[in-house]
Amino acid sequence: MLVVMKNDATQSQVKAVIQEIERMGYRGVPMPGAQRTAICIVGNTGPVDDSGLLVLEGVKETVRVTKQYKLVSRETHPQPTTITVGDIKIGEGKPVIMAGPCAVESEEQALTIARLVKKSGAKVFRGGAFKPRTSPYSFQGLGEEGLKILAKVRDETGLLIVTEATDNSSLELVDRYADIIQIGARNMHNYSLLRQAGHASKPVLLKRSFAATIEEWLMSAEYISSEGNSQVILCERGIRTFSDNTRNTLDLSAIPSVKQVSHLPIIVDPSHAAGRRDYVIPLSKGLSLSAPTACWSRCTTTPPTPSPTGCSPSTPSSLTN
């Protein structure tokens, strides 16, 4: 349920409504708008009796919310959300390019690629310091040392940093070093990590799991928002289907589907979806029809000769300059 306050409602009246919601055994999350404040009631498993709320001073009306995901739904927040990170705005309607290597392997590698992607128009540098792998014997990332390299990339190039947190301990480190925290596809259902991300100070980029429905994806975003962090960016990265000509199938229909029911900004990762570098640019061109907020690409180089064949992980989908 959504409690809509009057235009002239005071902060004390808003606080009184929240206190009444808490007295009822639920939690009230204030959602300030351009003209008035609304308070979303979360924690209820059935209908809420609004009789005690409607008589409170400053309350205009209550609105029933039909979706399970309340905080990320357009029912509670009709206008699209714009997330400001540094000097860029994600969700404003202008495309934002996020690019970089799959994994940070060395300072030289990261800085070389960062200069290339910045020259090509990227505003955000992506690179993994912690890498969850299917095989326990594969390269798992440099850890905090990789985060320090990413911080140096930001200092030298001015690019913002997005990198993945794989568990609660790495989340604290990523929150300290990065500008955007990534929750990867494998961790979309890691509810403990999602709740922890809800307490982070940075925006969270939530990748869709390769077998998740739209509702499951948005419910994972709800976990983050319900803990207090409303700065959630969704990322479509392809789903697993019967097709075997690409690594995954890029679900472009997910973009308008999400935009219809959620106010959160959504970006697309054509590199992960295709798994082939020769498909990344054609897929990126096709994204203009579905109008995502940003495009995410994996790049690599092997100094002194830039080439995608020298990077140890995920080489088939890596772009070269």
At residue 199, the pLDDT reads 96
Residue that is written with structure tokens 């077998």 in the block: 211
Can you tell me the distance from the alpha carbon of 3 to that of 30, in angstroms, rounded to the nearest whole number? 9
In a domain, 257, yes or no: yes
Query: Are 58 and 125 contained in the same domain?
Result: no
Judgement on whether residues 108 and 52 belong to the same structural domain of the protein: no
CA distance 102 to 130: 10
The predicted pLDDT at position 32 comes to 84
Based on the fold, state whether residues 91 and 198 are members of the same structural domain. yes
Give residue-wise pLDDT tens across range 248-264: 899 989 999 999 999 99
Give the 3-state secondary structure of 67-132.
CCCCCCECCCCCCCCCEEECCEEECCCCCEEEEECCECCCHHHHHHHHHHHHHCCCCEEECECCCC
Do 190 and 168 touch, CB atoms closer than 8 A?
Answer: no
* 72 is a domain residue: no
| Residue 147 three-state SS | helix
User: Rounded to whole angstroms, how far apart are CA atoms 277 and 298?
Assistant: 9
Among the candidates 63, 93, 108, a domain finishes at: 63
Q: What is the pLDDT of residue 315?
A: 54
Q: Say if 73 falls within a structural domain.
A: no
What gap in Å lies between CA 256 and CA 126, rounded to an integer? 25
Q: Are residues 192 and 249 in the same domain?
A: yes
**Is residue 207 a part of any domain in this protein?**
yes
Whether residue 292 is found in the same domain as residue 158: yes
118 domain-assigned: yes
Note down the domain range covering 154. 83-317
74 within domain boundaries: no
Q: Does 106 lie in the same domain as 193?
A: yes
The pLDDT assigned to 310 comes to 47
Say if residue 34 is in the same domain as residue 111.
no
Same domain (yes/no): 230, 96: yes
Hey, what amino acid is at 21?
I
How much is the pLDDT for 298? 57
Low-confidence spans in the chain with pLDDT less than 70: 288-321
Is the CB of residue 203 less than 8 Å from the CB of residue 181?
Answer: yes
Residues 6 or more apart whose Cβ sits within 8 Å of residue 92: 82
Measured CA distances, 38 to 31, 56, 280 (Å): 5, 14, 42
We report the CATH number of the domain holding residue 38 as 3.30.70.1140
Last residue of a domain, one of 13, 34, 63: 63
At 101 the pLDDT is: 92
- Residue 275 lies inside a defined structural domain of this protein: yes
- Same domain, yes or no, for 57 and 89? no
Q: Assign residue 248 the CATH number of its domain.
A: 3.20.20.70
The per-residue pLDDT for range 16-71, each reduced to its tens digit, is 999 999 999 999 999 887 788 999 998 888 889 999 999 999 999 999 888 889 99
Instruction: Indicate whether 20 belongs to any domain.
Output: yes
Residues 273 and 151 in one domain: yes
Same-domain status, 94 and 193? yes
Q: Within this chain, do residues 220 and 146 fall inside the same structural domain, yes or no? A: yes
Global pTM value: 0.83
Residue 291 has a pLDDT of 58
Tally of domains in the chain: 2
H/E stretch holding 152: helix 144-157
- Yes or no: say if 134 and 176 are a contact pair by the CB < 8 Å rule: no
